[in-house]
Homo-oligomer: A and B are copies of this chain.
Amino acid sequence: MDFEQLKQQKTEEINAFLKEFLPEESGKEKVLCEAMNYSVEVGGKRLRPMILLEAYKMFGGKDSAAQPFAAALEMIHTYSLVHDDLPAMDNDMYRRGQLTTHAKYGEAMGVLAGDGLLNYAFEVMSDAVCEQGANAAKAMQIIAKKAGVRGMIAGQTVDLEWTGKPQNKELLDYINERKTAALLCAALMAGAALAGADEGELTLLETVGVYVGLAFQIKDDILDVIGDESKLGKPLHSDEKNEKSTYVTLVGIEEAERLVKEYSKRAVEVFELCLHENPFLKELLLSLVTREY
């Protein structure tokens, strides 16, 4: 099986167990659960859960103990998109060709479904921690921090604050490290922590996540300018429209392309310092920065 087929198969496996971890659509709160599940089910490449599961395997994990954390991480990623799409934020009506949550269920439900997903992620992880103990607690702690007020939420805040204002590279890196890289770091680190990786290994993986995240985001900025709309499945030039500074506007396409290569190279170098191997995970991480869509 080649990489793409393998990835497809793994995505389907994730979609199958993800459903098991989502709330049943029942009771008087049925519509809340529907809105939450809709948000998760409208798509996504399940990248973060996939990375988490592969990091778990890489460090010797063999059972399904990482599944609740993979599901929780996808819920957290999803809630961040649901709240980002709100009228008070980016005000997007469509994502991946489908109505966004607030566009479909109303703005109040957009807020509540996002809250529900964030809280439910911790409900699922709390259950797992009660069952599994110390490694699970560590994994949850990692995810909480990376998603939190020094992580993803900080990135979102600063991004919003600076939209339409002149930015510099330091600021962009700050935003990209938090808004994009933080949950990739969380995926790598939490998966490894669940399998008992030590602090040194977690730090290596954090570095890998940062480099991959930076490269991924710069690639995203490049594709927003010179990508193929039909392959991307979304209109080009959204950054320009939203008056967002990007690496492309700051340093130009050529230098941006060079930086993607540079960060990818560093990511691989650090990844290979780990005393464990996972060729699929390595290829998956590289595919994020060489993608054309």
Residues on A lying within 8 angstroms of B by beta carbon are 23, 27-29, 31-33, 36, 79, 83, 86-89, 106-112, 114-116, 118-120, 122-123, 126-127, 129-130, 133-134, 137-138, 140-141, 144-145, 147-150, 153-154, 156-158, 160-161, 171, 174
| A155 and chain B: residue at smallest CB distance | B29
Q: Are B116 and A149 in contact (CB-based, < 8 A)?
A: yes
A16 to B156, CA, bound (A): 30
Contact of A111 among B28, B83, B106, B116 (CB under 8 A): B83
Q: Which residues of B contact A86 (CB under 8 A)?
A: 88, 111
Q: Are B119 and A147 in contact (CB-based, < 8 A)?
A: yes
Shortest Cβ gap from A143 to chain B (Å)? 8
Q: Which residues of B contact A126 (CB under 8 A)?
A: 137, 140-141, 144-145
Q: Are A32 and B130 in contact (CB-based, < 8 A)?
A: no
Q: Which of A86, A119, A140 has the most CB of B within 10 A?
A: A119
Contact (A115, B32) CB under 8 Å given A130-B141, A145-B123: no
Shortest Cβ gap from A165 to chain B (Å)? 13
Q: Which residues of B contact A36 (CB under 8 A)?
A: 149
Q: A86-B88, A115-B153, A129-B137 are in contact. List 15 more A-B contacts (CB 8 A).
A: A27-B150, A29-B154, A31-B157, A32-B157, A79-B115, A87-B88, A115-B118, A116-B148, A119-B149, A123-B141, A126-B137, A126-B144, A126-B145, A129-B141, A133-B134
Q: Which residues of B contact A160 (CB under 8 A)?
A: 108, 112
Q: Which residues of B contact A144 (CB under 8 A)?
A: 119, 122-123, 126
Contact of A32 among B29, B89, B133, B153 (CB under 8 A): B153
Shortest Cβ gap from A50 to chain B (Å)? 23
A36 to B157, CA, bound (A): 12
Contact of A149 among B33, B110, B156, B158 (CB under 8 A): B33
Q: Are A89 and B116 in contact (CB-based, < 8 A)?
A: no
A116 to B114, CA, bound (A): 12
Shortest Cβ gap from A192 to chain B (Å)? 16
Q: Are B149 and A23 in contact (CB-based, < 8 A)?
A: yes
| A76 and chain B: residue at smallest CB distance | B119
Shortest Cβ gap from A53 to chain B (Å)? 21
Shortest Cβ gap from A185 to chain B (Å)? 15
Shortest Cβ gap from A128 to chain B (Å)? 10
